[in-house]
Chain A
Amino acid sequence: CVKKDEYLNNDTKSATAVPASTLFSYAEKQLSDVLATSAYNVNIFRLTAQQWTETTAISESDYDLKLRNVPDGFWNAIYVNVLRNLYEADKLTQADATLSAAQKSNQLAQINILEVYAYAVLVNTFGNIPYTQAVDYTNTTPKYDDASQIYDSLLSRLDDALSKLNTTAPGFNTADLLFNGVNEISSWKKFGNTVKLKVGITLADVEPAKSKLAVEAAAPNALQSNADNVSFNYLTTTPNTNPLWVDQVQGHLIDYVAGATLVDLLNSLNDPRRPAYYTAIDTNANPQSSDVLVYKGGAIGKVNTYNKFSTFSNTIAQPNLPSLLADYSEVEFDLAEAIERGFNVGGTAQQHYINAITASITYWGGSATDISTYLANPKVAYATATGSYKLKIGTQKYISLYNRGYEAWTEIRRLGLVLPLPPNQTSYLNRFTYPITEQNVNQANYSQAAAAIGGDNIATKLFWDKN
């Protein structure tokens, strides 16, 4: 008796169709955000890498992931904010009849490289994860895939994507917030090869042949200098500022101080990057202007008084601090390692090692003198530094990955660095436990995955972790 008013149910203030590029831009920003943030309910890797440690609420430094449901926060950010939107961008791009074949192929490749990047982060954090059945609302209880099989798939997707990049056509152009349309596709080639290099080298201890193949293919095409660094360039005004600035500077938090592990290491090497990493403090109980300022870190997993330790430097406390997704320094470290592993990537381990350190110190504002002095330090010089190649390269890589907590944590595990344990722990944090929500809403698959990886606890090592 009343005519149909179905239009009434339309959400007249929301878009029902959007360009794929807007979703891609969003996913890029979300991926950068989740890796850059220091929000302790999402990203606590600066703490697990012991670059920082906590003051009074020390749960995360003590590997307590439950208080703030950290695994849930990190997992959701990548599946929901990043991957969901990349899948949608992929779908819309494929359906877009107005694109040239070359541009479409470039865009799909860009999407795929970012998806691989995101999945690699998830695998390296949790181990087995939903992959083949993931990001599909029709399957509300996705099964978990074997991590090493996911790695195989990631590598082949990378090869496929790289083969589809065509430098004569644009991709997402200025909607690509990583390169803003400048040398776009050639930059993506380098980025994609760098991702492949990273994924490849991660397999080195567990599947050396696959690793060798991937690393050797990717090495010549990866980043060539700091100018090639891949970073998300935040803006100076909210809400597009670096999340670290939002949390720590705008938020005036006093929850974190420098971690003694990294600070002590830097001090022992007289590292020129210290002023770029941390604030120097006066430890004299009765401060005098003549006092020498020092770098001092708080004990890991113990209560620390905020005022008595160094904290993050003004260099990283900038709203528009770019957030690195890949840099030249890590490429060179990977190449040094590849040489030591007998892979054919050209050059010597020592030269790549020097290149890597040089790139890092340069990036952090060090001078040529700083670099030469540092490299001359027998504790630094490749020939004289102590330990295995893994330890030598690992230590310097660990230093260079400051403020890239997730990457540092991954390299600590991958290269077998031994960090001090928090007082209440008997194992390093080798992985995140699965989200509590998964225990409640995807229980059967969760239980299967937990059993498959050897138990859902922080001590379980990932499949590539043979240290």
Chain B
Amino acid sequence: QQQVIHGNVSDQEGDLPGVSVKIKNTSKGTITDGKGDYAIKAANGKTLVFSFVGYNSQEIAVNQSTINVTLTHNANKLGEVVVVALGLSRNKSELPYSAQTLTGAEVNSNRNTNLLGELSGKIAGAQIKQANDIGGSTNIVLRGPKSLSGSNQPLFVVDGVPIDNSSELELGGMSNVTQNQRNGKGGYDYGSPGADINPDDVASVTVLKGAASTALYGSRAANGAIIITTKKGNKGLNVVLNTGVLFGSVDKSTFAQYQKEYGAGYGPYYDPNTPGSHFDYTDILGDGTKQLVVPTYDDASYGQKFDPNLLVYDWRSLDPTSPYYHKQTPWVAAKNDPSTFFNHPYTLNNSLFIDGGTDKGNYKIGYTRSDDYGILPNSSIGKNLFNFGGSYRLTDKLTVQASVNYTQTAGKGRGGTGFGGQNGEPMNILQNFREFWQVNVDVQDLKDAYFRTNSNDNWNVKSPTDLSSAYWDNPYFVQYQNYETDERDRYFGNVSLDYKLFNWLDIVGRASEDYYNEFQEQRINVGSVVTPSSYYRLNRTYKENNYDLLLNFNKAITSDISFKGVLGLNARRQNINSISASTNGGLVIPGLFALSNSVNPIDYPIEEVDQKVVTGVFGGVTFGYKDFLFLDGTLRRDQSTTLPDKNNTYYYPSVAGSFVFSSLLKDYTWLSNGKVKLNYAEVGNDAPSHSINEVYDKAANFGSEPLYYVSTVRNNADLKPERTKSFETGLEASFLKNRIGFDFTYYKNNTINQILPVSVSTATGYDGLYVNSGNVQNKGVEVTVTGNPLKTDDFSWNINVNFAKNTNKVLSLYNGVNNYQLAAYKGGVTTNATVGEPYGTLRGTDFIYKNGQKEVDATGHYLFTSNSNNDIGNTNPDWTGGVYNAFRYKNFTLSFLVDFSHGGSIYDVDMVFGLWTGLYPETAGLNDLGNPKRNPLSQGGGVILPGVYANGAPNTTRIDASQNQSAYGYQTAPNKAFVYDASYIKLREAAFTYSVPASFVQKIGAVKAIDVSLNGRNLWIIHKNIPYADPEDGLGAGSAYQGVQLGSYPNVRRYGFNLKFTF
């Protein structure tokens, strides 16, 4: 007979709210309230199943009226209950679409300050790349790039609040900054605002990859969604203190290595009177004789062979403040190459979380302070993160809940990306080191020179009589005088009321806000190579409000048929407001960075206002038949202000079903769980702000005459909403009491009518047109295998393998257009979306092939195509995956993650020029005859390029390799020669944790538990094919920035330890 069963669910740390309590083999259930209590009607003999994200579920037979349960963490196994769209929770075993959940512990084992980067390698089918620079942005693409215009970021939702993670570059569509950085020009990477989420506050992260799972979110989740649930307060008073430190070191395999045989210069022609001369002969001492002077103005290393017995005057001897002033020094390779410029980065990360609760409510309050010090000198990012959350049961029916998160970020000295020096940013130091350098220059001398005078005492000066910079500054000057600073103050939070009108109907009202205020400053001090000196500032506020009203139904129709439903309204208001200005014509007073310090009156500030309102109405139903058949349906209608009136309303439906066949096969006890899922969904998307109406842009007045020009991107008053059609099916099963399981998914997405500014022939008078364009298809498979091969009281081994293969194809583009150029780089290389090809093909010049061999001309040089539209690579990987292992022995846990990516191409501009300037070891050393390559041909030097003549015979013609442009780098080979394979295998993470035995802890007194962990991240690149660089580094966030490297940052190995005290 039925009875009411009461109880409390907790874990080692206290009460657990939100735990699913279900009667096994039925659809009936409830969840625990704010203090972990529950009540449920069940008959004796039935079994209650308690499950919660990140915990082992427990089954307890009903034989008493009070059942208290303590759940144990299972950090290595997927949770059984997942939080899905709109904060609804679903039992994973019945979910009709893919959702992958990670616990807070899994994404924060390193206590890295950026949560998003920590997801890398852990989610099947997610490509996650974090730029290597300090605070660099994180680019996340789920199931392949769907949008042609660049941003393929999923929606981020924290406790139901959508959080902006667009990197600054993507706001405002095709802004100049975007286009510049996309095309490899300079700019800073200010990181992704998603980094404002406190990793210490995360209870779980659920990744929803398909449209069926995200359809209720409407337009914005077309690229999937990342649902983050923060921690909740527990009963009593709980205090957790974490203190951690991470150290770092540059992975040398991802930074330039230098030849150490030849010094400064481009070739043997400096003194017109001395054939073969690599030096200037100039009277710098004023004594009437000529001295041997290093060509300081040239930024290459095709110069004189090093010889410690040869004494020369180098840049130090020109600097009156230098101890070497007017002194000769031996001609040798630098003892300290540019790799010694990098600091050892470190991170301090301390947090205190307090939570507690009573019968009526619970709260949590947390504070985290993190300080990151980057590899570039004078670079740091400091963050204060405050988190508060609480809920209170006002009456039995009414619960109020609120959370506020406040994050302060202060950055300084972030590194530039791409080809700097063009838009008020300094030259990119990494480009300097990788492409244009003299290997005789000792970085520690530069350090001494800078700190001696705090000025730009530099290696690359124009002449002995003009000590201003030729092409590059002293890198210390760049970092200490031309640094950027930025601040971001952000709060996001929500208030919600939950009223239980009936026990089958909940009404939830929720208001949320995500707000941030950014202030960015860029400086170029007087004395830099970039002129004029300048100061630029940008103030921006971003605000998004969401108002939701949800009606949640949960009522069984018959004892066999369960019904859950949701009806909702959502109103979203977004407002972005910015103003920026810069000095004009230089700074009057050096070092004073203020607009008022402008040589000429400043130009108009640039103001931008983007406003957007989207209103949505939606509903969803879930039917369950017994415990094996589930059917979901959703429908949402959105209306957006960014679309033309006539097309501003759009609908998206989804339908999804799952068949839990294991429920019918209970006799087969080896089968723990088995499910087939199938779903189809369509989601829409609106346009970027201001893409409908034509406007004119303002240029600076000419004297008193005002100047306007037609905006270079043509807007379109006939835009229609975008649409993504998504189909997914899969099979999940686990065996032997869940000791082993797999999840297989096949999906196919088509994104059609994409709204994007297509690049067109500029003979139209426009750079781009906003159109509805194309059909991009992504299809692929994702496989996750979990295993628990060994499990004893003392020892366990968990393994999790994920694998994904995505095939991307552009099926059609805008009317009559068969190729869309995404970006253009130096040397005529472009990335493209071409009909019939994957998104992101690289085009450029190619070799001419003879029988598959590279053809050379009669002089032994490579032939290459004159046209630049040859397919020379594809920036998409063929497949990706990760293997996670965790071993526990008593109180010790060791875990590590290896992830890998196979295929894909990178156009490496650093090699194009680094070889051209003779920096890399390839350009020196011995040739096939055993002679120095750089010797003149007459002395047995030179190299034979691998290839064949027009008649197919192997090339035997030795060519000169003694100077710039002779045998290596730019102009000696087509673009194709600098396209590398982006595959890698990385030891991404390792962690070793020791929980101090309770018996010992108790002696200390107040402390309940102490965990000590040693951890590391990006520890080892086990395999890669691109030389001197990290295959994951790109130009910044956004898919169009992938597949090209220019001034790329080295990988930083991170390792550290963390102490966690639980009181």
Alpha-carbon distance A440/B295, docked complex (angstroms): 41
User: Can you list 13 A-B pairs, Cβ within 8 angstroms, ordered by A?
Assistant: A25-B702, A25-B706, A30-B709, A67-B970, A83-B765, A142-B761, A237-B585, A238-B585, A240-B703, A252-B468, A286-B288, A286-B290, A307-B463
Task: Decide if B707 touches A5 in the complex (CB within 8 Å).
Answer: no
B467 to chain A, nearest CB (A): 12
Task: Decide if B760 touches A140 in the complex (CB within 8 Å).
Answer: yes
Task: Decide if B828 touches A438 in the complex (CB within 8 Å).
Answer: no
Task: Decide if B708 touches A9 in the complex (CB within 8 Å).
Answer: no
Task: Decide if A10 touches B693 in the complex (CB within 8 Å).
Answer: yes
Q: Is chain A's interface secondary structure helix, strand, loop, or mixed overall?
A: loop
Q: A66-B827, A440-B843 are in contact. Are A13 and B607 (CB under 8 A)?
A: yes
Q: Which residue of A lies closest to B715 (CB)?
A: A11
Q: Which residues from B are CB-within-8-Å of A87?
A: 765
A67 to chain B, nearest CB (A): 6
Task: Decide if B868 touches A443 in the complex (CB within 8 Å).
Answer: no
Task: Decide if A84 touches B766 in the complex (CB within 8 Å).
Answer: yes
Alpha-carbon distance A23/B641, docked complex (angstroms): 30
Given contacts A286-B289, A441-B759, 8 further A-B contacts (CB under 8 A): A16-B694, A18-B696, A22-B706, A22-B708, A29-B707, A177-B705, A240-B700, A307-B463
Which residue of the partner chain, among A16, A67, A305, contacts B693 with CB atoms under 8 Å?
A16
B474 to chain A, nearest CB (A): 16
Within 8 A of B (CB), among A14-63: 14-18, 22-23, 25-26, 29-30, 56, 59
A445 to chain B, nearest CB (A): 8
Partner-contacting stretch, out of B317-325, B812-820, B934-942: B812-820
B531 at the interface (CB under 8 A from A): yes
Q: A2-B639, A69-B824, A76-B767 are in contact. Are A64 and B971 (CB under 8 A)?
A: yes
Partner-contacting stretch, out of B262-270, B444-452, B478-486: B262-270
Which residue of the partner chain, among B462, B584, B815, B817, contacts A441 with CB atoms under 8 Å?
B817
Q: Which residues from A are CB-within-8-Å of B181?
A: none
How many residues of A are counted as interface, with CB atoms below 8 angstroms from the partner's CB atoms? 84
Q: Which residues from A are CB-within-8-Å of B817?
A: 140-141, 441
Q: Which residues from B are CB-within-8-Å of A22?
A: 696, 705-708
Which residue of the partner chain, among A6, A141, A238, A285, contacts B761 with CB atoms under 8 Å?
A141
Which residue of the partner chain, among A5, A139, A254, contacts B641 with CB atoms under 8 Å?
A5
Task: Decide if B764 touches A142 in the complex (CB within 8 Å).
Answer: yes
- Mark contacts of A63-76 with chain B using CB atoms, 8 A cut-off: 1 yes-contact digit, 0 otherwise: 01011110010011
Partner-contacting stretch, out of B231-239, B508-516, B611-619, B726-734: B611-619
Q: Which residues from A are CB-within-8-Å of B272?
A: 308
A129 at the interface (CB under 8 A from B): yes
Task: Decide if A175 touches B764 in the complex (CB within 8 Å).
Answer: no
Q: Which residues from A are CB-within-8-Å of B698?
A: 14-15
A235 at the interface (CB under 8 A from B): yes
Q: Which residues from B are CB-within-8-Å of A69?
A: 824, 826, 828
Task: Decide if B645 touches A6 in the complex (CB within 8 Å).
Answer: yes
B873 to chain A, nearest CB (A): 15
Within 8 A of B (CB), among A218-272: 235, 237-240, 250-252, 254
Partner-contacting stretch, out of A130-138, A182-190, A359-367, A389-397: A130-138
Q: Which residues from B are CB-within-8-Å of A9?
A: 611-612, 641-642, 689-690, 692-693
A52 to chain B, nearest CB (A): 17
Q: Which residue of A lies closest to B578 (CB)?
A: A13
Alpha-carbon distance A18/B295, docked complex (angstroms): 54
Q: A84-B766, A436-B828 are in contact. Are A254 and B297 (CB under 8 A)?
A: yes
Q: A22-B707, A286-B288 are in contact. Are A250 and B532 (CB under 8 A)?
A: yes
Q: A13-B609, A285-B281 are in contact. Are A442 and B763 (CB under 8 A)?
A: yes
Alpha-carbon distance A6/B686, docked complex (angstroms): 13
Q: Which residues from B are CB-within-8-Å of A130?
A: 761, 763
A95 at the interface (CB under 8 A from B): no
A433 to chain B, nearest CB (A): 8
> Can you list the 5 inter-chain pairs with the closest CB atoms, starting with the nearest?
A84-B765, A14-B695, A130-B763, A66-B828, A442-B761
B821 at the interface (CB under 8 A from A): yes
A384 at the interface (CB under 8 A from B): no
Alpha-carbon distance A1/B571, docked complex (angstroms): 10
Task: Decide if B531 touches A250 in the complex (CB within 8 Å).
Answer: yes
Q: Which residue of A lies closest to B183 (CB)?
A: A69
Alpha-carbon distance A306/B641, docked complex (angstroms): 58
Within 8 A of B (CB), among A398-413: none
Within 8 A of A (CB), among B560-606: 569, 571, 584-586, 599-601, 603
Alpha-carbon distance A179/B695, docked complex (angstroms): 28
Q: Which residues from B are CB-within-8-Å of A306?
A: 297, 462-463
Q: Which residues from B are CB-within-8-Å of A139?
A: 764
Residue in A16, A69, A433 whose Cβ sees the most chain B Cβ within 10 Å: A69
Q: Which residues from B are CB-within-8-Å of A30?
A: 709
Q: Which residue of B lies closest to A62 (CB)?
A: B971
Alpha-carbon distance A83/B607, docked complex (angstroms): 27
Q: Which residues from A are CB-within-8-Å of B642?
A: 9
Alpha-carbon distance A308/B273, docked complex (angstroms): 12
A232 to chain B, nearest CB (A): 10
Q: Which residue of A lies closest to B606 (CB)?
A: A13
B298 at the interface (CB under 8 A from A): yes
Task: Decide if B845 touches A14 in the complex (CB within 8 Å).
Answer: no
A166 at the interface (CB under 8 A from B): no
Q: Which residues from A are CB-within-8-Å of B692?
A: 9
B970 to chain A, nearest CB (A): 7
Q: A13-B609, A441-B819 are in contact. Are A68 and B703 (CB under 8 A)?
A: no
Q: Which residues from A are CB-within-8-Å of B971?
A: 59, 64, 67
Task: Decide if A439 touches B868 in the complex (CB within 8 Å).
Answer: yes
Alpha-carbon distance A8/B610, docked complex (angstroms): 8
A79 at the interface (CB under 8 A from B): yes
Q: Which residue of B lies closest to A305 (CB)?
A: B270
Task: Decide if B283 touches A140 in the complex (CB within 8 Å).
Answer: no
A12 at the interface (CB under 8 A from B): yes
B608 at the interface (CB under 8 A from A): yes
Task: Decide if B761 touches A140 in the complex (CB within 8 Å).
Answer: yes
- Mark contacts of B17-61 with chain A using CB atoms, 8 A cut-off: 1 yes-contact digit, 0 otherwise: 000000000000000000000000000000000000000000000
Q: A16-B693, A66-B828 are in contact. Are A23 and B708 (CB under 8 A)?
A: yes
A418 at the interface (CB under 8 A from B): no
Task: Decide if B764 touches A85 in the complex (CB within 8 Å).
Answer: no
A25 to chain B, nearest CB (A): 5
B983 to chain A, nearest CB (A): 27
Q: Which residue of B lies closest to A134 (CB)?
A: B763
- Mark contacts of B770-783 with chain A using CB atoms, 8 A cut-off: 1 yes-contact digit, 0 otherwise: 00000000000000
A318 at the interface (CB under 8 A from B): no
B442 to chain A, nearest CB (A): 23
Q: Which residues from A are CB-within-8-Å of B867?
A: 439, 456
B470 at the interface (CB under 8 A from A): yes
Task: Decide if A79 touches B762 in the complex (CB within 8 Å).
Answer: yes
Q: Which residues from B are CB-within-8-Å of A17?
A: 696
Alpha-carbon distance A438/B769, docked complex (angstroms): 16
Alpha-carbon distance A88/B531, docked complex (angstroms): 35
Task: Decide if A437 touches B761 in the complex (CB within 8 Å).
Answer: yes
Q: Which residue of A lies closest to B689 (CB)?
A: A9
Q: Which residues from A are CB-within-8-Å of B689?
A: 9, 11
Task: Decide if B763 touches A11 in the complex (CB within 8 Å).
Answer: no
- Mark contacts of B503-541 with chain A using CB atoms, 8 A cut-off: 1 yes-contact digit, 0 otherwise: 000000000000000000000000001011000000000
A174 to chain B, nearest CB (A): 7
A143 to chain B, nearest CB (A): 10
Task: Decide if A25 touches B690 in the complex (CB within 8 Å).
Answer: no
B282 at the interface (CB under 8 A from A): yes
Task: Decide if A437 touches B759 in the complex (CB within 8 Å).
Answer: yes
A80 at the interface (CB under 8 A from B): yes
Q: Which residue of B lies closest to A252 (CB)?
A: B531
Q: Which residues from B are CB-within-8-Å of A10?
A: 690, 693
Task: Decide if A239 touches B603 in the complex (CB within 8 Å).
Answer: yes
Q: Which residues from B are CB-within-8-Å of A441?
A: 759-761, 817, 819-821
Q: Which residue of A lies closest to B571 (CB)?
A: A2
A297 to chain B, nearest CB (A): 13
B964 at the interface (CB under 8 A from A): yes
